[in-house]
Chain A
Amino acid sequence: MTEPILSRNFNIADAWKLGVAESRGAYATAKKVLGSMKPDEVTHAVLTANLRGLGGAGFPTGKKWQFLPKDGKKPVYLVVNADEGEPGTFKDRYILERDPHQLIEGMILAAFAIRSRKAYIYIRGEYVEPFRRTQVAVDEAYAKNYLGKNLFGSGVDLDIVVHRGAGAYICGEETALLNSLEGQRGYPRLKPPFPALVGLFGCPTIVNNVETLACVPHILKNGAEWFAKLGSTGNGGTHLFSLSGHVNKPGVYELPMGTPLRKMIEVHAGGVRGGKKLKAVIPGGISAKILTAAEIDVNMDYDSLRNAGTMLGSAGVMVMDDSTCMVKMLFYATKFFSHESCGQCSPCREGTGWAHKIVTRIYEGCGSLKDLETLLVIARNMEGRTICVFADAAAWPIQSYITKFRPEFEEYIRKKKFEPARPAMAGAH
């Protein structure tokens, strides 16, 4: 692909400010669409563009919008999920920091399509500078009546509230996000009902990822077909891939959906650092099942990776060379999940803590081969029995690391290798 689309303003100085953004085309599409199209036409465009939810689930965005009730009995809310938290992922942060007006324009179009007049942007608490810039961007948009009442003279209203989270990964789950936005503990909700019917404050709500909404102006500007063709079958457009770990050039890469993973690592990210040998790649954030070096000839889109037994997820690609200890990686993965489990339901609350305890024991040299079986059983038992998919996400690293690197785990256990789980304590005081 030739021209950057989502990332076109990322390296332009001050593109987060309205003056620069507008000079580069921000809000032109919204102005045009609100004055000439109908809401359902916008939804149709997004649907035919094959835009998939880019937060991790990959659900067709247009289809989600169509789940809303048409009776207009209750107000519809648009909620932006900017609670980016999946380890290995940092692309939404770039949008918030470097091109928030792209998001706002996308929100205007989405709110128009779903007939919403009130939107909330939920930004993770640790993203302080992104929050500040987004708030400034929103204020600037209000000042020019790109937000508020009667946008662009179209008769359409939209209010945006920029809201901060406070440090909980689980709030990236859309129903937990809604509970958190409502001022509660970030507990995911029982589904059904789904947010499109009963969401924020009990009203129909659409929760969309930052990047998903950032795509919408481009779809409306250049056409749904154009967007669909950029990507692969059923997975339209380009996507911001986050590359990190043992690559020479970690960073955000905008590439077409369906780009081969090998190309992403070897060509775009400059290959494995220091010319070392590749050992493993996590293709879609910590929850995604790991791929061995022999498995990276796969296309990076939702459907292809699902067929390969893993997932695109948040497109956080973490590359590991052959100096990586998989036991250590599992230790840190299980630590993440046990810290971030909300604790609401029993299999996840107990299972994530239990799994981390076992892996810690193995990590520190006190494991047995039976522990590997126990871990696999815990992972299998957590799957499918919880309120949300956090438990499944917690299960997948356990299952994939142990299954695909079994000999390494067994050797670690047999040799009673030892790594201190708390590396700094020795002699700290």
Chain B
Amino acid sequence: MSEAILKGLDPEAQKIIAKYDQKRAATLMLLHLAQDKVGYVTPEVEAWVSKWTDVPVVHVRGVVTFYSMYHLKPAGRHLIRYCTSTSCVLQGGEKLLCHLKKKLGIDNQETTRDGKFSLEEAECLCACEMAPMMQVGDDYHGDLTEKKIDEILDKLK
């Protein structure tokens, strides 16, 4: 299924590879590209990246599992990375996390049954000036309160 999508990404992959002095350096960017379009990293994605970079597929898997942002299983449409590091904890992040989990009905590393949200307890996202904060998709949301969390999530489709 993802093969068709990946074939469509070949031109983009070509452009990315051309920027780097060595093909394998494009690995992380190609994985981002493929994961964004396919939704997560499938064996086909790994084979596709391996083909473009000449990195043996076992080492592509090694890269995929090393970095927090690559997922081997489908995540929800909106991935929530909730910061659980020092400054966010200092600003009451724990209680808000409870609220968030109760609202979504899921725990860390889980996805809501309707496939809308996934939750990850993340390490420092380096936005401590707006602690407590979370990242939803690409966007940072800080100075969270229960009300603000509700607003942010309710707005998303």
A interface vs B, CB < 8 Å? Answer: 84-90, 92-93, 118, 124-129, 161, 163-169, 180-186, 200-201, 242-246, 250-252, 282, 286, 316, 318, 320, 324, 328-329, 332-333, 335-336, 339-340, 342, 423-425, 427-429
Contact = CB atoms under 8 A, between A and B. Distances in A.
| Residue among A86, A163, A164, A167 with max Cβ neighbours from chain B (10 Å) | A167
B94 A316 contact: no
A324 B89 CA distance: 10
Cβ-closest 6 pairs across A and B = A167-B68, A183-B27, A166-B67, A244-B128, A87-B124, A128-B138
A96 B43 CA distance: 34
B87 A424 contact: no
B5 interface: no
Interface in B57-112: 59, 62-63, 66-70, 81, 84-87, 89-91, 94-95, 97-98, 100-102, 105-108
Contact of A428 (B62, B107, B123): B107
Interface residues of B, number: 55
Contacts of A166: 28, 31-32, 67-70
B36 to A, nearest CB: 11
A247 to B, nearest CB: 10
B24 A182 contact: yes
Interface stretch (B6-14, B15-23, B147-155): B15-23
Nearest to B55: A183
A335 B89 CA distance: 12
A201 B26 CA distance: 13
Contact of B68 (A168, A200, A252, A324): A168
Nearest to A203: B21
Contact of B105 (A184, A333, A428): A428
Contacts of A342: 66
A32 B97 CA distance: 52
A126 B69 contact: yes
Contact of B126 (A90, A128, A329, A340): A90
B67 A186 contact: yes
Given A166-B69, A425-B107, A244 B131 contact: yes
Contacts of B89: 328-329, 332
